[in-house]
């Protein structure tokens, strides 16, 4: 069974280039320590007609969008070990939380056991 850390956060559209740079660096660090997958996705179709939109949950302001992220691991134990190493790595530990291109007080985070995993399909080449 695999494990995923999931993040959803609001971000100013103007700060997306800075966030992309930060995310690319972070992806390298997590993968160096053993993360299997690292994804950062920016909102595109956020005006949904059913359910509760991310924009409502995060109280998105004018000029903001949503980033949906996930880091995949072999297991929760692997996640705990890898995250501990990542947080001690100078490339991450040296970051000033006040300089982040997003508002971490509005970020949503959690760890998840994978219930179903199905990638690819008939249309994929």
Interval 58-110: pLDDT, tens: 899 999 999 999 999 999 999 999 999 999 999 999 888 888 888 888 899 99
Q: Hey, what CATH topology would domain 3-113 get? A: Alpha-Beta Plaits (3.30.70)
Domain boundaries, the chain: 3-113
Interval 5-59: pLDDT, tens: 999 999 999 999 999 999 999 999 999 999 999 999 999 998 888 888 888 888 9
Beta strands in 1-125 (DSSP E): 3-12, 37-42, 64-73, 108-113
Phi/psi at 121 (5° precision): 165, -175
- What's the pTM? 0.87
Q: Is 114 exposed, middle or buried (0-12, 13-18, 19+ CB in 10 A)?
A: exposed
> Residue 121 corresponds to which tokens in the numbers above?
């399909």
């Amino acid at each position: 069974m695999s494990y995923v850390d999931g993040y959803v956060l609001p971000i100013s559209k103007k700060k997306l280039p800075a966030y992309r740079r930060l995310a690319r660096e972070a992806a390298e660090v997590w993968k160096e320590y053993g993360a299997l997958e690292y994804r950062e996705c920016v909102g595109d179709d956020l005006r949904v007609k059913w359910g509760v939109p991310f924009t409502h949950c995060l109280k998105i302001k004018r000029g903001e969008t949503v980033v949906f992220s996930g880091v995949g691991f072999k297991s929760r134990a692997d996640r705990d070990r890898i995250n501990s190493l990542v947080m001690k790595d100078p490339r991450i530990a040296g970051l000033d939380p006040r300089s982040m291109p997003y508002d971490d007080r509005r970020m949503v985070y959690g760890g998840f056991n994978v219930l179903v995993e199905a990638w690819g399909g008939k249309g994929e080449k």
